[in-house]
Amino acid sequence: MFGPSRANARTGRTCPGGRSSPGGHFVPTPSGGAGIAVCDPARLAARLPGVAPPQRAPPLLSALFLRVADRARAREALERGGFAPHALPDGAFAIGADVAHGVALVFG
């Protein structure tokens, strides 16, 4: 089994500049406008309730976090495209990995 601590260590080596936590490994991008989370399915489900997780064995890229200037416009664009965004407790929203090529997309 490839546990979270081992995944965090491996991701930390391949994606320097990130930070590990009990919830997984989070890697910000140089622009600051997006971030990548690598974690196990249980932690992803806790962080993104109602959002379909990737259906791959760990380690895996679980979610891409995108900062948007206008959440309402971003949500409307996704809905026009046929997606059904899930509201998250912090006000962000996401589409599941099942409809986003295997990686959950979080817009905040």
In this predicted structure, the answer to whether residue 79 has a pLDDT above a threshold of 60 is yes
How many Å apart are CA 97 and CA 74, to the nearest integer?
A: 18
Q: What is the pLDDT of residues 6-31, one digit of tens each?
A: 544 544 444 444 555 555 655 555 65
Average pLDDT rounded to a whole number, residues 76-81? 96
Q: Please tell me the predicted confidence (pLDDT) of residue 71.
A: 94
Position 51 confidence tier, pLDDT thresholds 50, 70, 90? confident
- Angle 92-22-2 from CA coordinates, rounded to 5°: 110
Position 56 confidence tier, pLDDT thresholds 50, 70, 90? confident
Position 2 confidence tier, pLDDT thresholds 50, 70, 90? very low
- The residues pairing with 99 across neighbouring beta strands, listed in sequence order, are none
Share of the chain above pLDDT 70, in %: 58
- Angle 20-102-53 from CA coordinates, rounded to 5°: 60
Domain ranges of the chain: 4-10+25-100
Average pLDDT rounded to a whole number, residues 82-98? 93
Helix (H) or strand (E) holding 27: strand 24-28
The pTM for the full model equals 0.63
